[in-house]
């Protein structure tokens, strides 16, 4: 009888562990929360995009390297909201929303962008100057 009880207890533990594992596997994965960051949106050369805000430099895409999902949503800035530094490459002022990987200093997904007048970034004392390398 004691042997039967211990076998049932073992079976209950195994079933409980299986239930917990099953619940973990079917639980919805929480996506990273989207956030909006504003600053200098830089495109110095083909395939290279980054955002320089008050908290640092966020790589959006690197030529020949990884790029954020949705990078095609980055705006083609209006001439009066763009500073050319290398032919038709340069920088503008914008807000970019999506997901950021703080540890890797990268943007992993671009949800939307909104162009701002250059003056907005120029008067923001918290923003470093645009340009330079990442």
Q: What is the pLDDT of residue 58?
A: 95
Report residues of the chain scoring pLDDT below 70: 1-32, 132-134
Q: What is the pLDDT of residue 132?
A: 67
Q: What is the pLDDT of residue 77?
A: 82
The helix or strand, by DSSP H or E, that contains position 14, with its residue range, turns out to be helix 2-26
Q: What angle do CA 124, 69, 93 make, to 5 degrees?
A: 20
Q: What is the pLDDT of residue 31?
A: 53
Domain 35-123 architecture: Beta Barrel (2.40)
pTM of the full structure? 0.74
Dig out the tokens for 130 from the structure.
């645009």
**Domain range list for the chain:** 35-123
Give the C-alpha separation, 43 to 77, whole Å. 11
Is there a contact between 96 and 110 (Cβ–Cβ < 8 Å)?
A: yes
């Amino acid at each position: 009888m004691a042997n039967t009880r211990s076998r049932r207890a073992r079976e209950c533990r195994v079933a409980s562990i299986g239930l917990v594992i099953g619940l973990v596997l079917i639980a919805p994965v929480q996506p990273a929360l989207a956030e909006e960051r504003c600053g200098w949106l830089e495109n110095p050369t083909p395939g290279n995009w980054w955002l320089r805000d008050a908290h640092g430099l966020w790589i959006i895409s690197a030529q020949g390297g990884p790029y954020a999902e949705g990078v095609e949503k980055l705006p083609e800035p209006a001439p009066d909201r763009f500073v050319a530094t290398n032919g038709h490459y340069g920088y503008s002022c914008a807000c970019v929303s999506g997901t950021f990987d703080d540890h890797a200093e990268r943007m992993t997904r671009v949800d939307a962008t909104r162009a701002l007048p250059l003056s907005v970034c120029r008067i923001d004392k918290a923003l470093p100057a645009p340009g330079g390398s990442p």
